[in-house]
A and B are shown apart, each in its own frame.
Chain A
Amino acid sequence: MIIIENEEELYIGELARTQSEIKNFILDQGTLSKIDDIFLLIKAILPIILDEKEEDIILGIGTPISTTVEQMKELSSKFKGEFDVSIKNDATKEVITKKIVIKQVFVMPQSYGSYYDIVSKSEDNSAIDAIVISLDLLTEILTIYEGRLIRNASRNLINASLFVLSNKIAQALQQKIGIIINPHSILENIRGNKDQVIFSGKTYDISKLKEHYIRQIAHEMVDSLINLLNSLPIEAEIEYFIITGEAMELFWTEIELLILEQNLLDDLDLDRIIKVKDPIFSNAIGFEAMVKRKIDTGD
């Protein structure tokens, strides 16, 4: 996809990854710093998902928990308003131009979406004391206690995430086969939980490497989790661990095992570890539900 911005054409998403010489990653060391780029990215996506030529929308955005309130405000204010957006399909050269009117913008920590998704589907729609472990390119641990989002006990993990896994495997492969490997180039294979990668026409089995680093990274994640739990009040008791995110399939077994081993669950009750049904979209689904509810209730 290409977005046309001030007569300049910019690649977005996968096309940017494969075609652009200069890449702008929207997250920098796990923090949201390039708000302009995020703005462009979201502007580019909206014309595709909207039906009408001109449409009013309410936007719900999930940001890493490390995002400051000020940045959230900046994001929100930047997005509100009227925008003419032109995007182009690079393959067909079809150009779509739409007028987007963003009426309201809600900014929340991203993994709150999964929490909301889980809780709003529960029988009595009540808050639960939970820790959400969102396993994405950037791992996020979000603690919700007594209905409150506890920032002190929430964190983005820079050293333990899907991207770190990809990076570690890339480095190990690099040492073994002597080719410079960009972690982004094997990310798709890792995301798909595939055991093989191909370089210079040769296939390499990464299953052992992957298993090794998944265990290592999961250890780091659960260590961080324990540190965060220590910052909760003594009487606080976390009832549920919610595991979500696109890397859930890779990490959940190890995380579950470590949670059990570390005695973080009362009575070793496995039902208190909730693995979301749609880990890739669960955060987004939760946000959608939240915004819908806001519209329905006219808040």
Chain B
Amino acid sequence: MSGDEILTKIDQLKSRVKDIVKKIQNLKAGLSRAEISLDDFQVQKTSLENELRGILRQIAKLKENVEFTLRVRKEPKVEPQPQVIKEEAPIFTVPKDFMYYFSTEFEDFLNKANIYLSGEIEGIGFIELGFIEFFFPPTTEKNKPFNVTGLVVQRGSAENIRLSVNLTDISDYQSRYDNSEEGLIVDLEPEIPKAISFQINAQGTHIYSFRAVLKQVNGKEISEINDAFFDFEVKALPFAEVQNIRDLFETKTGKYLVYSYLACEKEEAELLKELQVSLKEFGVNNFEPLLKIIPALKQTKVLLEIGQEINENILFLINNFKFLSNELYEFRKIEEVENKLLKVAEHIFKFAPDGIILRPLENAENALILSMLFRSFFKICKLGIRKLNLLKTISEIGKDYHLDIS
């Protein structure tokens, strides 16, 4: 039988299938109207179903032959109808990304030991550095210590440790402090005391870098300090009331708020540098990401008590984000998605004059959790927001060139 003949035969059988199915449905209707007896119904239905089974098997067998013929003869004419696919959503943006994300990246954050760093720079004030992957502390004594308190948090439990990271005199900052033998490289940018930028490349089993721009602070100034974790990828998060222009960078396409979680991977830190260079080329000179400096927690006991809360809150985020992820992949209604993100954020955080406070723990000094949640929240959002913003940016660039590519 030729390909054409097979297709014709299949079409005939298909129309027979339709006839039989309609007959079965009519039988059912007849039974419900008591036009035929149950016995008659069963006999006729069984007979029709048996015929239908036979035809279905016949069609399946013929289809195999068609495909075989096609492969051999390569006749486009007899090619079976391609799958009609109506959605424009590419398969590769379906939730697999989301699943990958949780199964590979986010669990790292939950499962690996993280060290939360806070400390006091003599004569400058408290700083909170956030979480980093554990690294081996350096040992060499230098003339002016930069004491760092670390807290290992792993799956809800917390253990206080103390690390001592020794820098050269902070006021005698160097553009680069290389102590790689000790597992530490610190970059200091010459803007002290207004701002310190430094980078720690933790070396050893976990090569992670850590980049932040710190602003000098004392207790009274905290509320005035602009709140932003910087992230060169995550822009325009909807819940921040930005008052300080320095949290924005401007491009031709508009202003963007820039956030980041603190501890970023080495590659990302490098990417940030590249971004800064690119932005300068764009004519953006005021790109100055700031780290929010929050009062450090003084009592380790409090940290230990809230260790359990951390996981719960992260799980809350995950659960809520599950919702959002569904929307995020559509990319159709960006505003709606942003509003939903905002709702999640509002649920977790309280926006107070002196900063953003974690709602469930608003009575506690919760810098630790706040930092952790921020980091996790941004990390979670990153995947979706990055794509949203990409679309937004593309669309805006289009407008610059008088093109509507929305």
Contacts and interface: CB of A to CB of B under 8 A. Distances in A.
B100 interface: yes
Interface string A269-299: 0110011000000000000001001100001
A275 B60 contact: yes
A148 B326 contact: yes
Contact of B56 (A105, A108, A256): A256
Contacts of A149: 94-95, 99
B107 A112 contact: no
Interface residues of B, number: 46
A69 B318 contact: yes
A66 interface: no
Interface in A240-278: 240, 252-254, 256-257, 260-261, 263, 268, 270-271, 274-275
B301 interface: no
Given A73-B103, A76-B107, A257 B53 contact: yes
Nearest to A104: B104
Nearest to B82: A123
A116 B91 contact: yes
Interface stretch (A13-21, A126-134, A158-166, A169-177): A126-134
B87 A126 contact: yes
B85 A108 contact: no
A270 B110 contact: no
Nearest to B328: A148
A72 B99 contact: yes
Nearest to A256: B56
B194 interface: no
A240 B86 CA distance: 11
A126 B88 contact: yes
Contacts of A76: 103-104, 107
B143 interface: no
Interface string B12-25: 00100110010011
A192 interface: no
B270 interface: no
Interface string A128-145: 110000000000000010
Interface of B: 14, 17-18, 21, 24-25, 49, 52-53, 56-57, 59-60, 81-97, 99-100, 102-104, 106-108, 110-111, 315, 318, 322, 326, 329-330
Interface of A: 69-70, 72-77, 104-108, 112, 116, 118-120, 122-129, 144, 146-149, 239-240, 252-254, 256-257, 260-261, 263, 268, 270-271, 274-275, 290, 293-294, 299
